[in-house]
Amino acid sequence: MKVNILIMGLPLNTLIIVGGLFVLSMFLPTIIALILKYLEDKKQ
């Protein structure tokens, strides 16, 4: 039998796929900016 793990009523696979990608995309500009800054500082 397939058991669905729920977190706040939301299936785990939805939380990981939709929620995970959503949170990642939300913070990705900041992550990229920090990486670029690090690379730039390293170059100098």
Partner 1 sequence: MNKIIMYMLCFTIYTIVFLFWGKNGFKKTNNARDFCVAGNSLGLFTGVFTFTATWFSAVSMQGVTGSVYAYGYSTILYSVVGWLLGASCLVFIAYRIKEYNIVTIPEYFKIRYNSKGYQAFTGLIIVICYILYIIIQIKGFGIVVSTLLDIDYNIAILLIYLFVVYTSFGGLFSVSKTDTLNFILLAAGIFLAAFFIINDIGGITLMHEKAAAIMSKVSPKYNITQGALLDPSANNLFSPLMIITTGLAWGLGTAANPQYIIRITATKDRKTGIQMVCLSAIILGILYVGLMIIGIGSRVLVPEISSINSVDEVLPYIINSKMALNLSGLVFISIIAAAISTANSELLILASSFSYDIYINLSQKQISDEKFLGISRITIFIAGTISLLLSIKPPEILLIYGSYVWSVFAVSFLFPLYGGLYWKKATKDGAIFSSIGGILTIAIFYILEVTGAYSMILHPVFPGLIISCLLFYLVSKATYKKTGDAS
Residues in contact with partner 1 by the rule CB under 8 A: 6, 8-11, 13-14, 17-18, 21-23, 25-30, 32-33, 36
Question: C-alpha angle 23/26/31, rounded to 5°?
Answer: 100
Q: How far is the CB of 15 from partner 1 (least distance, A)?
A: 9
Q: How far is the CB of 41 from partner 1 (least distance, A)?
A: 13
Q: How far is the CB of 2 from partner 1 (least distance, A)?
A: 12
CB 37 within 8 A of CB 30: no
- C-alpha 11/C-alpha 6 separation (Å) is 5
